Amino acid sequence: MEKNKVFLYSVTVAILLGFAALSLGATGQTEAAPSVLSFITWRGDDSEAYDLIIAAFQEKYPNIKVNVEYFKGGTMYDGIVSTRGIGGELDIYAAQPGGQLSAYVESNYAMDLTGQPFIDRVIPGAVTAGTIGGKTYGVSQATATMCVFYNTRMFKERGLSVPDTAEQFLEICDMFKAEGIDPLVAGLAQPYIAQNHFKMMASHMDPEGAPYLWIKVSNGEMTLRDEPYPTLLRAIKLLYDRGYYVKGVEGIDKHGAAAVFAQQKAAMDIEGTWRAGTIAGTEGAPDFDIFGIPFHGDPKVKVSVVHPNQSHLIFPKSKNKDAALKFYDHMMTKEMMEIYSTMTGQVPTVKGTPIEAPTIRLISEFIGSARPVLGPNLANPNTEVQQTLYETFTRVAIGHDVDTVIKEMQEKIDAIER
């Protein structure tokens, strides 16, 4: 795959130079009074894209200033949303489809956006991810899937092909390890990265049942002691036990993992396709491609875990609802979606968005060629159970005893009030 660093730079410059010529309906429209939109998100990785999108918006609407802030996800983020929103100090914010978005809707933290014109511009899956009880509260800005990035040169030199079975995947890891090359890296210092491995395996093993695994744990229909959890958890732990990961992987975050792979210190990186742009833009990065980890399923069936990325919600107590809707509409245009997609390496959700960057074409083709399976987080409304599952996967991924983890984490889930 060709590198796109120069391409990304040239596209960005062209976009900046072309703002004045973009036919975005800029006719000198202004608000009756100056407005300052409070916009928060955890997507600090995407700050350069948001800067360009906001600059274009403020050129169109000079009397609306967008104040964007980036916070880490998790309970701290939830607390900021709650405190600022209830206090009338928050207008628009990012939410992860699935448990987090459902919790915000249940808490009345999201305005009903059903019928807004921009909803018709996006692909159906992006709407479904933000629709609850027949009402749409947000649409996904991009879509992605979990994957394994692999160094195509390293594979080609050894005559290796993309694995069709779990056994073939392990054989590839063994081959690299025997040569003194670290087969794998992953950002296991972060609590949600190990879920990527789990989702790929579960979806390949049981495309019909995988989407409901988390909600069945949430509602008590099954426990972590029930299959397929023990089998999948042992498969995750196996990679650590066999020494396939780079040394010290438990202390490497997602950024560090991308750097290790880009610097060709590991043959593969277990991540999500949203990391493609970061890897491709790193100086000296190798040519790479992607595949999903197969696991005890039909080897002829390729699977992609449907992963709609952040949706944006408008807080009902916003004092700037009209301005927030204008900004939302602006973000969901083909022009702005092309900026976001190109700079972040994510597949756009707005219909007809041009896809020029090689990395995005690669991801789009992979997703389009595989059977889509709904990610289990999208069906699970309980954020506490979801965080406990993240902890479960992470613990076994860094070598903790599977039976002990199952016991402790199931006790933790049982204690969650729901």
**Mean pLDDT computed over 67-83:** 90
**What is the average per-residue pLDDT within 196-201?**
96
* Counted domains in the chain: 2
The two structure tokens encoding residue 345: 């390496």
Q: Please report the DSSP string for 271-297 in residue order.
A: EEGGGHHHHHTSTTPPPEEEEPPP-SS
Element (H, E) at 305: strand 303-308
CA distance 43 to 50: 9
CA distance 2 to 287: 6
- For residues 217 and 250, state if they share a domain: yes
Q: Judging by DSSP bridges, how do beta strands 347-348 and 142-144 pair with one another? A: antiparallel
Q: Return the CA Rg of the chain.
A: 22
Angle at 18 between CA 16 and CA 21, to 5 degrees: 140
**Average pLDDT of the residues of the chain:** 90
Q: 350 in a domain, yes or no?
A: no
Which pLDDT value is given to residue 16? 38
Distance between CA 153 and CA 267 in Å, rounded? 9
pTM of the model: 0.76
What is the 3-state composition of the chain as percent helix, strand, coil, each rounded to the nearest 5? 50, 15, 35
Indicate if the pLDDT at residue 407 is higher than 60. Answer: yes
End-to-end alpha carbon distance in the chain: 47
Q: Is the pLDDT of residue 328 over 90?
A: yes
Residue with tokens 């972060």: 190
pLDDT digits (tens, 9 = 90+) for 345-359: 789 999 999 988 888
Cis before 286 (ω within 30): no
Kindly state whether residue 315 falls inside one of the protein's structural domains: yes
* CA 236 – CA 410 distance, rounded (Å): 18
| Same-domain check for residues 281 and 315 | no
Note the pLDDT of residue 278.
85
* Same-domain pairing of 168 and 247: yes
Kindly state whether residue 196 falls inside one of the protein's structural domains.
yes
Residue 341 domain flag? yes
Residue 204 token pair: 């390949």
Whether residue 18 is predicted with pLDDT greater than 80 in this model: the reply is no
- Does residue 388 or residue 26 have the better pLDDT? 388
Q: Residue 32: its pLDDT value, please?
A: 56
In a domain, 278, yes or no: yes
| Domain assignment present for 355 | no
Query: Looking at the structure, do residues 133 and 151 belong to the same domain, yes or no?
Result: no
Same domain flag for 209 and 325 = no
Interval 167-181 mean pLDDT:
98
> Does residue 257 carry a pLDDT above 90?
yes
255 and 117 within one domain: no
Do 157 and 48 lie in a common domain?
Answer: no
Among residues 270, 337, 279, 269, which one has the least CA distance to residue 309? 337
Q: Are residues 228 and 292 in the same domain?
A: yes
Least confident interval from 93-97, 344-348, 404-408? 344-348
Distance CA 226, CA 224 (A): 5
Q: How large is the average pLDDT for residues 290-309?
A: 92
Exposure of 176 by Cβ count < 10 A (0-12 exposed, 13-18 middle, 19+ buried)? buried
Q: Tell me the CATH number at 32.
A: 3.40.190.10
Name the DSSP class of 380: -
Within 10 Å of residue 189's Cβ, how many Cβ atoms? 18
Q: Is the pLDDT of residue 2 over 80?
A: no
Residue 149: band (very low, low, confident or very high) from pLDDT cuts 50, 70, 90: very high
Residue 334, CB half-sphere, CA atoms under 13 Å: how many? 9
* Residues in the chain, total: 418
Instruction: Note the pLDDT of residue 200.
Output: 96
Whole-number pLDDT of residue 352: 93
Q: Do 202 and 339 belong to one domain? A: no
Residue 34 CB partners (closer than 8 Å, separation 6+): 63, 64, 65
Residues 101-140: tens digit of each pLDDT: 988 999 999 999 999 999 999 988 889 889 999 999 999 9
pLDDT surpassing 80 at residue 22? no
Residues 107 and 168 grouped into a single domain: no
Look at residue 231 and tell me if it is in a domain: yes
Structural domain of 57: 5-139+310-345
- pLDDT for position 33: 63
Strand duo 64-70 + 35-41: pairing? parallel
CB 143 within 8 A of CB 346: yes
Query: Could you give the percent of the chain with pLDDT greater than 70?
Result: 92
Both 296 and 177 in one domain: the answer is yes
In a domain, 351, yes or no: no
- Determine the average pLDDT of the residues in 29-47: 81
Whether 171 and 232 have beta carbons less than 8 Å apart is answered as: no
Tokens found for residue 6: 């120069």
328 shares its domain with 180 = no
Between 229-241 and 166-178, two packed helices, what is the crossing angle to 10 degrees? 10
pLDDT at 31 over 60: no
The mean-pLDDT minimum among 236-240, 271-275, 291-295, 341-345 falls in 341-345
Is residue 20 very low, low, confident or very high in pLDDT (cuts 50, 70, 90)? Answer: very low
